[in-house]
Amino acid sequence: MSGKKKKSDDSRLELDKDNYDEELYKLQVELVKLQRDIIANGQKLLIIVEGRDGAGKDGTIKRITEHLSPRETRVVALNKPSDRETTQWYFQRYVPHLPAAGEIVLFNRSWYNRAGVERVMGFCTDDQYERFLDTVPMFEAMLINSGITIIKYFLDISRDEQKKRLADRRKDPLKQWKISPIDAVAQKHWHDYSEARDAMLSRTHSLAAPWTIACANNKKVTRLNVIRDILNRTEYEGKKTKLTVPDREIVFNFDPIHLQSGKIES
């Protein structure tokens, strides 16, 4: 990363606005190159973005898609299932939104709702939860075998940072649409969400569809490094390799050892 960098008291990387804007521009140019290659070769890219409430999923997705072609880029953020959908095969309502040839699709939350919010808030039964964890690796393997590339991110923040962001959200008149009853109890259920996250990561991480963790206490640094990681994991014509190397203290492959080491917030 070019520009001045310093470690703050909570070990978050700081980045001034000018350097951030410059880095973001360069990376968004690379994303456009990637998309041109995906369109030309009929590839299918699915990016799943999960994380704590307030972890910056919306902002990260916005920076990824900001200058991509709207015809070949879709962001999917489904509402809670209808009465009819609750009677369907669990993955059924997600299937119509999967990428076709030449498309990039980003899920802002995904089928992993079952392993997070639904589990913690009691919106699914124990049997439904266990069945999901057992079957989702097979479901994702089927998608990969059909030609879809899957990249999965979990944005992780500290409890104090979440508290601050949710409080700021309530005060901001432009972010009122983000406020939900789930947000209101996020802090109360912090440890429940930690346990659900740990089980989800451990049981659905695979060689075919691995989880990548993004330390998201600093929004700007997170956005840059998630984009770098996407570019680093993909091949495309005209790639500037030096621009696409992420900071592995910020974005790193999941390993169960991280749950005990403190690298993932508890």
Confidence class for position 239, pLDDT limits 50, 70, 90: very high
CA distance 54 to 208: 28
- Does residue 156 belong to any structural domain of this protein? yes
- Does residue 165 belong to any structural domain of this protein? yes
Residue 15 or 172, more confident: 172
> Strand, helix or coil at 136?
helix
Confidence class for position 3, pLDDT limits 50, 70, 90: very low
pLDDT for res 14: 63
CA distance 109 to 119: 14
Within a 10 A sphere around the Cβ of 162, how many other Cβ atoms?
22
Cα 142 → chain centroid:
21
pLDDT for res 13: 52
CA distance 48 to 214: 13
Residue 214's domain is classified under what CATH number? 3.40.50.300
Which helix or strand (DSSP H or E) is residue 1 part of? none
- Does residue 86 belong to any structural domain of this protein? no
- Does residue 244 belong to any structural domain of this protein? yes
Confidence class for position 5, pLDDT limits 50, 70, 90: very low
pLDDT for res 138: 97
pLDDT for res 12: 42
Q: Can you read off the two tokens belonging to residue 253? A: 């492959």
pLDDT digits (tens, 9 = 90+) for 210-233: 999 999 999 999 999 999 999 999
pLDDT for res 7: 37
- Does residue 89 belong to any structural domain of this protein? no
Helices marked H in 190-246 — which ranges? Answer: 190-204, 219-233
List Cα–Cα distances, 3 to 39, 67, 78, 225, 248, in angstroms. 33, 23, 38, 15, 18
pLDDT for res 183: 83
Q: Identify the burial level of 235 via C-beta atoms within 10 angstroms of its C-beta, where 0-12 means exposed, 13-18 middle and 19 or more buried.
A: exposed
Report the domain count for the chain: 1
pLDDT digits (tens, 9 = 90+) for 156-214: 999 999 999 999 998 998 888 888 888 889 999 999 999 999 999 999 999 999 999 99
- Does residue 85 belong to any structural domain of this protein? no
Domain limits at 103?
A: 6-79+95-261
Confidence class for position 10, pLDDT limits 50, 70, 90: very low
- Contact (Cβ atoms closer than 8 angstroms) between residue 156 and residue 194: no
Q: Which of 106, 152, 110, 111 is nearest to 129 (CA)?
A: 111
pLDDT digits (tens, 9 = 90+) for 21-43: 999 999 999 999 999 999 999 99
pLDDT digits (tens, 9 = 90+) for 84-130: 999 999 999 999 999 999 999 999 999 999 999 999 999 999 999 99
Please give the single-letter amino acid code of residue 128: Q
- Does residue 87 belong to any structural domain of this protein? no
The pTM score is: 0.92
pLDDT digits (tens, 9 = 90+) for 52-69: 999 999 999 999 999 999
Answer yes or no: is pLDDT of 264 > 90.
yes
- Does residue 266 belong to any structural domain of this protein? no
